[in-house]
Amino acid sequence: MGALTAASASGQLVFLPLLTRLAAAHGWRTVGVTIAFCALAVVPVVGFFLRNSPADIGILHTAHPTIMSRLLR
């Protein structure tokens, strides 16, 4: 959780001054397009690292029969 907070703060520290200069020079629409492009550029990265189920990374889900039998003893 701390890494996400630090990444958010660092991103604001870097991107907000750049976007402010971009808005001053070219207008707010250019800033909107830039943000949309950056968001779309992140989608493949998230899709690559995001997993659909715990089994994708070798972990049994909590409803798996062996885990449930251990819990219900």
pLDDT tens track for 13-59: 989 999 999 999 999 999 999 999 999 999 999 888 877 776 666 77
**Total count of domains within the chain:** 1
Q: Is the pLDDT of residue 72 over 80?
A: no
Query: Is the pTM for the entire model greater than 0.85?
Result: no
Q: Which carries the bigger pLDDT value, residue 42 or residue 63? A: 42
Three-class DSSP category at 27? coil
Residue range(s) defining the domain that contains residue 52: 2-71
Alpha helices (H) in the chain, listed in sequence order:
2-26, 28-49, 65-71
CB 39, CB 46: distance < 8 Å = no
CB 22, CB 30: distance < 8 Å = yes
Amino acid at 13: L
Q: Which carries the bigger pLDDT value, residue 64 or residue 55? A: 55
Give the DSSP letter of residue 54: G
Given this model, what pLDDT does residue 9 score? 87
